[in-house]
Amino acid sequence: MSDLENLFDLHSHHFDSKNRAIVQLTELYPKKLPAFFSFGVHPQEIEFDLSRIEETSLKLNETSGFLAIGEIGLDSRFDHFQRQEELYIFQLKLAARLNKPIILHCVNSWDRCRFLHEKYAPENVLIYHGFNKSSITDLVLRYSKSMISIGETVLSNQALRSCVSQIPVDRLFLETDTGRGELIDTYRTVAEIKKLSLHSLIDQLDQNAKRIFNYE
């Protein structure tokens, strides 16, 4: 397998991804499932049925491609914060029950996201996706169950580029999310920042994925 075939995309909304990607499902149960996927209800969603979320998760869990619960979390930009917490807690408990890593959506709510995770799913890895809050890098890394995933904003966000050097490579993932850039460009930029060869970075993140998601 070549380096490019080994690229791992932690979080993508592109069903046609050329990379090995964890694709975020956008339907309760699509007709065709990607090779690898996550399922979770975003904190922006105010209308949700907890029983249907549970039913769908259990059904998806019968397939080998279901790698993570997410993206789930809290977002202070949206109203109905109490409803967000209800949804987040329910899905944390579900992640604990199914023994799935969690892909976290978190905006200005790190302390609360971490507190609830520690209370309801303390053994599950918590992956802070789309990370661009450089000021809390140390806080996130201090939480031993956390990992950080970075997207294409690292190409242009100088503060984020600076904090990448602080993130141990074994606590790191890269992703495309909804972006339109090529994942390899993000890998090349991060390899340069961390003074690693592209091959070394690809190999390490591949090992991270196998370790966290327990697949070959």
- For the stretch 155-209, pLDDT in tens is 999 999 999 999 999 999 999 998 888 999 999 999 999 999 999 999 999 999 9
Which strand ranges, in their side-by-side order, compose the sheet holding 8-12? 8-12, 20-24, 37-39, 66-75, 102-107, 126-128, 146-150, 172-174
Q: Is the pLDDT at 112 greater than 60, yes or no? A: yes
pLDDT of residue 30: 72
Residue 62 known to bind ligand: no
Flag the least confident range among 28-42, 75-89, 180-194. 28-42
Residue 71 known to bind ligand: yes
Q: Is the pLDDT at 29 greater than 80, yes or no? A: no
Residue 123 known to bind ligand: no
Question: Is the separation of the CB atoms in 60 and 66 below 8 Å?
Answer: yes
Place 1 in a pLDDT band, splitting at 50, 70 and 90.
very low
Q: Is the peptide bond before 71 cis (omega within 30 degrees of 0)?
A: yes
pLDDT of residue 207: 95
pLDDT of residue 25: 92
pLDDT of residue 28: 66
Percent of the chain's residues with pLDDT above 90: 83
Number of domains forming the structure of the chain:
1
How much is the average pLDDT of 40-49? 90
pLDDT of residue 27: 67
Question: Is the separation of the CB atoms in 53 and 90 below 8 Å?
Answer: yes
Residue 177 known to bind ligand: yes
Sign of CA dihedral 117, 121, 122, 127: negative
Neighbour-count burial for 177-215, b at 16+ CB within 10 Å, e otherwise: bebeeebbebbebbbebbeeeeeebbebbbebbeebbee
Percent of the chain's residues with pLDDT above 70: 96
- For the stretch 122-153, pLDDT in tens is 999 999 999 999 999 999 999 999 999 999 99
Domain that holds residue 147: 4-213
What is the CATH classification number for the domain harbouring 119? 3.20.20.140
CA angle 17, 21, 25 (to 5 degrees): 85
Kindly report the average pLDDT of the chain as a whole number.
93
